[in-house]
Amino acid sequence: MFATTTLNPTSLSSSLIPDSHFLRLHQSKGELHNTCAAPLHYSIWIMAFARVCSHCTAAKPSTWLVRHAQGIHNVDGDKNYKAFMSPEYFDAHLTQLGWQQVDNLRKHVHSSGLIKSIDLVITSPLLRTMQTAVGVFGGEAYSDKMDIVPLMVENAGNSDHPAISSLDCPPIVAVELCREHLGVHPCDKRRSISEYRCLFPAVDFSLIESDDDVLWKADVRETKDEVAARGMNFMNWLFTRKEKEIAIVTHSGFLFHTLAAFGNDCHPLVKKEISSHFANCELRSMVILDRGMVGSDCSSTNYPGKIPSGLDSPSDAAADAKKEGKE
């Protein structure tokens, strides 16, 4: 089933046609590495037909969207939204259950063969997203005997996790555009890039201009429209990448507001599915095609996330609860 929607033409470059089509694929059941349940898989393929140049017919990047694993802020924030305001959760790191979720998604990425096709991993430059990115898509355990720089040093960000090798894995690049909803919540403020370079030596931070976090403001929080506009800028930037298979490790709020900008003319059920919140460590496929491409098969690499299950309240949901007077 296809439905047509229109993007704001100012959100994409003049070389892109400002309309998109959404295909809601059939649900299919799958068994995931010894889990008892057979979770339903949803695949929403977002097909943006682009006029990149008059002679170009190649498909644009295939991407896999991943929300970070459970962070320490998700646990207490699920109980009380005021926890998101606590300085204790500055640049929140993963919980031990979060690392188990990372390990399970890593098993899926390898058993499905997806890891062999990924050309590039893009990550938000926050501790929880980088820990997820290197844990899922990085190399095996690092040893001092290896003649290679580690992706992550031992116990990075109070992780109690061994160092991770950068051997035989795709490059990982940090990008500010796919950060979480900016401002007010300390959990969404990043550390200096200098500090991150010590924790994640093989992650590429060259696209980040400022060492300090100049985007996060203690008293001003981005509006939902501003997050969506930033998301459109990020997708527009994706069109410029030469890589064909890209994984993006980011946040619930960023994914929700970016995808919610699509599908306004779709059936309400399709619109709801497109903009549904991601579970911790959930993976969904997104394919961007040019105007010469039509249709596709259902992705076999989607992953429902939240394995093992745990609290995963995003700070955006907590902010909505606050407005409604809920604790």
Select which of 21, 41, 68, 251 is catalytic.
68
* φ, ψ for residue 300, nearest 5 deg: -100, 5
The verdict on whether 243 is a catalytic residue reads no
The verdict on whether 180 is a catalytic residue reads yes
Q: Helical H runs in 153-300?
A: 193-199, 224-238, 252-260, 268-274
Q: In 3D, which of 264, 193, 192 has the Cα closest to residue 228?
A: 264
H, E, C per residue of 73-109: HHHHHHHCHHHHHCHHHCCCCECHHHHHHHHHHHHHH
Give the integer Cα–Cα distance in Å for 174 and 192.
Answer: 13
Q: In 3D, which of 189, 193, 194 has the Cα closest to residue 217?
A: 189
Give the integer Cα–Cα distance in Å for 48 and 293.
Answer: 10
Contact 188, 216 (CB under 8 A): yes
Select which of 21, 93, 176, 180 is catalytic.
180
Q: What are the catalytic residues?
A: 68, 180
